[in-house]
Amino acid sequence: MGAPKIARAEAIKRIALVFRKYGYDGTTLSLISKTTGLGRASLYHHFPGGKEEIAREVFRVTGQQVYELVIAPLKREGTPKERLGEWVKGVDHFYAKGRNNCLLGTMVLSGGLNRFPDIIEEAFQAWIEALTHTLVDAGLDEAEACERARSAVARIQGALIVSRGLGNEDHFQKTLKILPDQLLEGFK
Amino acid sequence: MGAPKIARAEAIKRIALVFRKYGYDGTTLSLISKTTGLGRASLYHHFPGGKEEIAREVFRVTGQQVYELVIAPLKREGTPKERLGEWVKGVDHFYAKGRNNCLLGTMVLSGGLNRFPDIIEEAFQAWIEALTHTLVDAGLDEAEACERARSAVARIQGALIVSRGLGNEDHFQKTLKILPDQLLEGFK
DNA sequence: GTCTATATAATGATAGAC
DNA sequence: GTCTATCATTATATAGAC
Summarize pLDDT for A9-20 with one digit per residue, the tens: 999 999 999 999
How many Cβ atoms from other residues are within 10 Å of residue A166's Cβ?
19
The per-residue pLDDT for B93 is: 98
pLDDT at A188 > cutoff 80:
no
Shortest CA–C1' contact from B6: which nucleotide? C1
pLDDT at B116 > cutoff 80:
yes
Segment B136-162 mean pLDDT: 98
pLDDT at B110 > cutoff 70:
yes
Residue A8 lies in a domain: no
C-alpha to C-alpha distance for A53 and A51, rounded to whole angstroms: 6
Is B99 strand, coil or helix? coil
Distance (Å) from the alpha carbon of B59 to chain A's nearest alpha carbon: 14
Residue B144 lies in a domain: yes
> Which tens digit of pLDDT belongs to each residue from A36-81?
999 999 999 999 999 999 999 999 999 999 999 999 999 999 999 9
Rounded percentage of chain A residues whose pLDDT exceeds 70: 99
pLDDT at A96 > cutoff 80:
yes
Spatial contact of A58 and A103, defined as CB atoms under 8 Å apart: yes
Residue A25 lies in a domain: no
> Which tens digit of pLDDT belongs to each residue from B37-55?
999 999 999 999 999 999 9
C-alpha to C-alpha distance for B157 and B31, rounded to whole angstroms: 25
Domain holding B148, by residue range, is 55-184
> Which tens digit of pLDDT belongs to each residue from B14-45?
999 999 999 999 999 999 999 999 999 999 99
C-alpha to C-alpha distance for B183 and B147, rounded to whole angstroms: 10
Residue A158 lies in a domain: yes
Task: Give the domain CATH number at B70.
Answer: 1.10.357.10
The per-residue pLDDT for A2 is: 74
Segment B147-173 mean pLDDT: 98
List of A residues 7-66 with CB within 7 A of strand C: 27-31, 40-41, 44, 48, 50-52
Residue A148 lies in a domain: yes
The per-residue pLDDT for B95 is: 99
- Partner residue opposite A26 with nearest CB, options B111, B121, B171: B111
Q: Is the CB of A39 under 7 A from strand D?
A: yes
The per-residue pLDDT for B1 is: 55
- CB contacts < 8 Å between A and B, how many? 127
C-alpha to C-alpha distance for A12 and B64, rounded to whole angstroms: 42
The per-residue pLDDT for A139 is: 98
Residue B67 lies in a domain: yes
Q: What is the DSSP string of B9-75?
A: HHHHHHHHHHHHHHHHHH--HHHHHHHH---HHHHHHH-TTHHHHHHHHHHHHHHHHHIIIIIHHHH
Residue type, A99: R
The per-residue pLDDT for B2 is: 75
Total count of domains within chain A: 1
C-alpha to C-alpha distance for A92 and A176, rounded to whole angstroms: 8
Residue B77 lies in a domain: yes
Cα angle B118-B122-B128, degrees, rounded to a multiple of 5: 150
Residue B155's nearest CA partner among A167, A147, A154 is A154
How many Cβ atoms from other residues are within 10 Å of residue A161's Cβ?
33
The per-residue pLDDT for A169 is: 98
The per-residue pLDDT for A1 is: 55
The per-residue pLDDT for B188 is: 72
Segment B111-126 mean pLDDT: 98
Phi, psi (deg, nearest 5) at residue A93: -70, -45
Categorize the per-residue pLDDT at B6 as very low, low, confident or very high, splitting at 50, 70 and 90.
very high
Q: Is the CB of B38 under 7 A from strand C?
A: yes
The per-residue pLDDT for A58 is: 98
Chain A residue closest in CA terms to B21: A109
Residue A17 lies in a domain: no
C-alpha to C-alpha distance for B97 and B99, rounded to whole angstroms: 6
